[in-house]
Amino acid sequence: MEDQTLLPHLFRTEYRNIVSVLCYLFGIQHIETAEDLVSDAFLSATELWSIQGVPDNPRAWLYAVAKNKTKNYLKRNALFENRLSKEIKYSADKTEEMEIDLSEKNIADSQLAMIFTICNPCNAPESQIALALNLLCGFGGQEIADAFLTNKEVIYKRINRAKEKLKEANIKIEQPTVVEISERLETVLKTLYLLFSEGYYSTSQDTTLRKDLCSEAMRLTSLLIENKTTNKPAVNALLALMCFHASRFEARTNEKGEAILYQDQDQTLWNKELIDAGTVYLNRASTGDELTKYHLEAGIAYWHTQKEDTTEKWESILSLYNSLLILEYSPIAALNRTFALSKTHGKKAALVEAEKLKLTDNPFYFSLLGNLYSDIDNEKAIQHFETALRLTNSPGDKITLAKNIQRLKETKAVN
């Protein structure tokens, strides 16, 4: 890796690790202290590496500097040290004897504890996601703002408010108990699901950012699976869902950022390793007697990775959508179901169901109507595509919709 890209890469991968360990050690009330110490370690790296060159083991260097800065901070702040020794996890008589554990196991344990802390229902879902991106994933304010299509001031306020709420509620950063897992796992999975969706369905044209959001959601979900207390069927179902969706990531847009419809995707770009991994996780998810929306959505996503356009495939997808809507109704799921209905019962039957939804502020609704009306009533199809064009914020979708409108107008002129 080039020297100029090494530090940003290490900041993304190691900042979150050290911050999690220090937060786990200090407690939620001292979250900013942990962040400041780690930021200071990276500032030292920026200054010294430009003069002395990059050390042989940059990661180990950062960990050693972070440990030393933490020990020095505790020496200088006797009150903080005393409170830490009484209230939290450090109970050594002398600061010099303290060991800041940056082992792989403790990093994983710390991140797991942080996941359950951040995904606390005292904060709204969007605040949980912003805080997770910042503390658990190492994303900066501008990156998070780009993902949410807002400005960084809004994100900073959101993150700071989320931290304050956790402090006010005096949430402890600790390994979740069996009871806490039972009570809070659903909230954690919802946050990770929304984090993945923020990348996969993002309207941002920054492909690297979108992939990073998805990969971070998958990494955090994998942490839950690696810990035997949180390795539940629903977690495996969620990771299966992520794998299946991520497997088609490269085929969903072209080099210009234009959206490619499912039936037009280049299947050679689908990632077989992710499909195989998703299949393994889906099989593991089948244990037990709990059926969640993640199981059903993973099943739908699985069938979308099967290349053959068979009746069995679309009937299976339709059946899964039916079950999903009974379990947890969602207008978007109902909208997606109509596409499967068009594949099994034809466009006219799908139109009847689609028009009942009346999602008049949703560009995907009008885009679907445009596709369903194409070659049945091209004038109506054009009207719906034009409405979708006005409603969408995605530059790539705008290009695709404009092309559909132009194609139908040309067909109309020829006829």
pLDDT tens, 18-39? 999 999 988 988 999 999 999 9
CA distance 296 to 58: 44
Q: 369 lies in a domain?
A: yes
Q: Which of 323, 349, 375 is the last residue of a domain?
A: 349
Residue 363 covered by a domain = yes
The reply to whether 81 falls in a domain is: no
Q: Are residues 320 and 378 in the same domain?
A: no
3-state secondary structure of 169: coil
| CA atoms in the 13 A half-sphere facing the CB of 305 | 27
**How many structural domains compose the chain?**
2
**What is the rounded CA–CA span in Å between residue 36 and residue 30?**
10
The proportion of the chain whose per-residue pLDDT surpasses 90, expressed as a percent, equals: 70
Helix spans in 270-394 (H): 272-285, 293-304, 311-327, 331-345, 347-357, 363-373, 378-391
Last residue of a domain, one of 349, 370, 397: 349
Could you read off the pLDDT of 296-350 as tens digits, one per residue? 999 999 999 998 989 999 999 999 999 999 999 999 999 999 999 999 999 999 9
**410 in the same domain as 371:** yes
> In this structure, are 374 and 306 located in the same domain?
no
Question: What tokens does 71 get?
Answer: 């020990």
| Percent of the chain's residues with pLDDT above 70 | 92
* Contact between 313 and 306 (Cβ < 8 Å): yes
327 and 365 part of one domain: no
Q: Which SS3 state, helix, strand or coil, does residue 319 take?
A: helix
Tell me the CB-side half-sphere exposure of residue 71, using CA atoms within 13 A. 15
Asked if 367 and 300 sit in the same domain, the reply is no
On whether residue 118 sits in a domain, the answer given is no
d(CA 72, CA 95): 9
Interatomic CA distance for residues 211 and 218, integer angstroms: 11
Residue with tokens 């109970």: 91
In a domain, 338, yes or no: yes
Q: Write down the pTM of the prediction.
A: 0.88
pLDDT of residue 94: 39
Mean pLDDT of 203-228: 87
Cα separation values, 219 from 22, 108, 224, Å: 20, 11, 9
Confidence of residue 95 (pLDDT cuts 50, 70, 90): very low
What does the pLDDT read at residue 90?
43
Q: Is 83 exposed, middle or buried (0-12, 13-18, 19+ CB in 10 A)?
A: middle
379 and 338 part of one domain: no
Domain boundary among 324, 349, 374: 349
C-alpha 162: how far from chain center: 18
- Are 314 and 368 part of one and the same domain? no
Q: Do the domain assignments include residue 210?
A: no
pLDDT value of position 147:
80
Would you say residue 343 lies in a domain?
Answer: yes
Distance CA 175, CA 229 (A): 10
| 3-state secondary structure string across 28-96 | HHHHHHHHHHHHHHHHHHHHHHHHHCCCCCHHHHHHHHHHHHHHHHHHHCHHHHHHHHHHCCCCCCCHH
Structure tokens at 10: 């290490």
By the 8 A CB rule, do 258 and 400 touch?
A: yes
Q: Is position 82 within any domain?
A: no
Shortest CA distance to 188 belongs to which of 145, 137, 228, 234? 234
Query: In terms of domains, do 287 and 342 share one?
Result: yes
Q: Tell me: the pLDDT tens digits for 253-300?
A: 888 777 788 888 999 999 999 999 999 999 999 998 899 999 999 999
In which domain, by residue range, is 336 found? 272-349
